[in-house]
Structure 1
Amino acid sequence: MHYEKLAIPDVVLLTPNVFGDERGFFMETFRQNEFEAHCGNYQFVQDNHSQSAQGILRGLHYQLHQPQGKLVRVTRGEVFDVAVDMRKSSPTFGQWVGAMLSEENKQMLWVPPGFAHGFYVTSEKAEFQYKCTDYYAPGDEVSLRWDDPAIGIKWPLANSRLPALSSKDQHGVNFSDAPRFD
């Protein structure tokens, strides 16, 4: 596995070694001791799997009192995955990083606790899987506005159409009003 720190160094892009032949491929998707060496000492307690159609945007979400770190990957299709630093004591507070994750590149993104996270589906359909460091707590979740100009995320919108959002995400809070981590 290759670990690459992005412009926000706590967010790490993981690229697995893929071994393939005419029968298919094999890759290791997670190894605890290597993950700890490159990303920190975290334990995962929940795995999730979602499917979405092109033009769906999920996020930007985070939990304030039960923050979740997420190790995310795409097993079908392609998404643009984004992390926004919500830690007010961080030198990268309010900044974002993004990566295209796909079934072809097989890359994963580590989004540590203290970040808002979201993704936009660029392919016809996508299956998105992720490991979490804490349990989902719906009453603790914050939805940050996906298009807040204070953040300025450059979403690769299909045909320049607005994304399809859940009701919760349609009512996301502005960055200036969003609760923050210390």
Structure 2
Amino acid sequence: MKFIPTKLEGCFILEPTIIGDERGSFMESFNERTFAQGTGQPTHFVQDNQSVSSRGVLRGLHYQVGEFAQAKLVRVLKGEVLDVAVDIRPKSPTYGQHVSLLLSGDNQKQFFIPRGFAHGFLVLSESAVFFYKCDNFYSKESEGGIIYNDPELAIDWNFPESEMTISEKDTHLPTFNQARKVW
């Protein structure tokens, strides 16, 4: 597994070693020891989640606050998404900056997003199966969110907004400056 740091401290792109032959392929998608060595962040995941979405579905930007803040290891099992992480750690030198990358069932890349980041994704293929591990349990009372089209964040979703499908809840999220603070 190759661990590639991003411009946001603590966020890593993970590229697996895929072994293939005439029977198909094999890869190790997660190993706690290798992960801790590669990221420098020992992380114990406690919850796995999976969603299925169709083309144009945008989910996010979401996060958890306080004692229920979550780190996530995300990947796409089938299809293709544009995945985005936004640094919302007030004391971070990259506060308010974001990273986006293409995750797909074909490239098998994973994206590690530590605590203190908002996260969202947009489905680019006809459908996508999105899978992620969390290092903390979900708490409705600890939810936070930022509107996907906040002009200050200036995220280029590279997709026509008129073709996006966004939940009612996500269309009413606050701007970056008005959002609930992570700590």
- TM-score > 0.5, shorter chain as reference: yes
Deviation at 1:181, TM superposition (A): 3.2
1:13 maps to what in 2?
13
**Structure 1: which 5+ residue stretches go unaligned?**
none
Opposite residue 178 of structure 1, the aligned amino acid is: A
Query: What pairs up with 1:49-128 in 2 under 5 angstroms?
Result: 49-65=50-66, 66-128=68-130
2:173 maps to what in 1?
172
Query: For each residue in 1:120-141, what CA deviation from the matched residue of structure 2 results, as whole angstroms up to 9, or x when unmatched?
Result: 0000000000000001111211
* SS state at 2:95 partner: coil
Aligned residue pairs total 181
Matches of 1:23 and 1:156, distance apart in 2: 37
Deviation at 1:9, TM superposition (A): 2.9
* SS state at 2:177 partner: helix
Matches of 2:25 and 2:170, distance apart in 1: 37
Percent identity of paired positions between Structure 1 and Structure 2: 44
TM score, norm. by length of structure 1: 0.96
Opposite residue 71 of structure 1, the aligned amino acid is: L
2:26 maps to what in 1?
26
Matches of 1:139 and 1:3, distance apart in 2: 33
CA RMSD of aligned residues (A): 1.1
- CA contact under 8 A between 2:103 and 2:109: conserved in structure 1? yes
TM score, norm. by length of structure 2: 0.95
Opposite residue 31 of structure 1, the aligned amino acid is: N
- CA contact under 8 A between 2:52 and 2:129: conserved in structure 1? yes
Deviation at 1:34, TM superposition (A): 1.4
Query: What pairs up with 1:123-162 in 2 under 5 angstroms?
Result: 123-157=125-159, 159=160, 161-162=162-163
